[in-house]
Amino acid sequence: MTRDDIEAALAIEQAVQPYPWTRGNFGDALGSGYLGLVSEASAEAGGGLQGFVVLMPGVGEAELLNIAVAAGQQRKGVGRALLESALALSRERGWGRVFLEVRTGNLPAIALYRSAGFAEIGIRRGYYHNAAGSEDALIMACELSAGESNG
Ligand SMILES: CC(C)(COP(=O)(O)OP(=O)(O)OC[C@H]1O[C@@H](n2cnc3c(N)ncnc32)[C@H](O)[C@@H]1OP(=O)(O)O)[C@@H](O)C(=O)NCCC(=O)NCCS
């Protein structure tokens, strides 16, 4: 992901996330050296951004901060491919694991993470705001080892 992708990523984000990142959040992420990967439609399909994933490098590990796929492109394997690319990149960088936080009500995302090898390692009570007041965050991690393929 480069700064040229921000507008398209923001449009996807605003369409599919209940509490979307702002343009500033994307700019700050890229400015801070976070890694963004994008999925683009083929030229035959008209091109354009289909989805993205953002990773924050840490010490020996990375946190997956955001992943989203355009509404019209969901359930076609784009999210899984983005997640697997993020895991492959993390393995290349020598990180031992990737972790993330996800709303306990986000069943599509939780199913995707489980299918890619993530397991639940904790819960943060009342971590997110939602219409009902607050929602728990599930903490999930995918342990990586060089050369191994998850999912
Ligand atoms: C989560 C998200 C990225 C998945 O992207 P996607 O491209 O639709 O996912 P895929 O087609 O690669 O699906 C991979 C697996 O995820 C699970 N999954 C995806 N969408 C699902 C849904 N609506 N219901 C149940 N499981 C779902 C399934 O296990 C699926 O495998 P299958 O199709 O073989 O059953 C997408 O739904 C999205 O952008 N959601 C809004 C943003 C979001 O919630 N991001 C995560 C929190 S930051």
Measured in angstroms, how far is the CA atom of residue 68 from the centroid of ligand 1?
9
DSSP 107-118: HHHHHHHHHTT-
What domains does the chain contain, in order, with CATH numbers? 3-143 (3.40.630.30)
Per-run averaged pLDDT (10 residues), the chain, 151 residues: 97 96 98 97 93 97 98 97 98 97 97 98 94 94 75 49
User: So which residues are the catalytic ones?
Assistant: 101, 113
Q: Whole-angstrom Cα distance, residue 51 to residue 8?
A: 9
Determine the pLDDT at residue 127.
Answer: 93
Q: What is the per-residue pLDDT for 149?
A: 54
Q: Tell me, what's the pLDDT at 145?
A: 81
Return the ligand 1 atom nearest residue 81 CA: 12
pLDDT attached to residue 28:
98
Ligand 1, atom 5: closest residue by C-alpha: 79
Which pLDDT belongs to residue 138? Answer: 98
- According to DSSP, residue 4 is labeled G
The residue whose CA has the least distance to atom 26 of ligand 1 is 108
Tell me which residue of 6, 61, 11, 64 sits closest to 38, measured CA to CA: 6
Distance 118 CA to ligand 1 centre (A): 14
pLDDT for the residue 12: 98
Helical (H) or strand (E) element with 38: strand 35-40
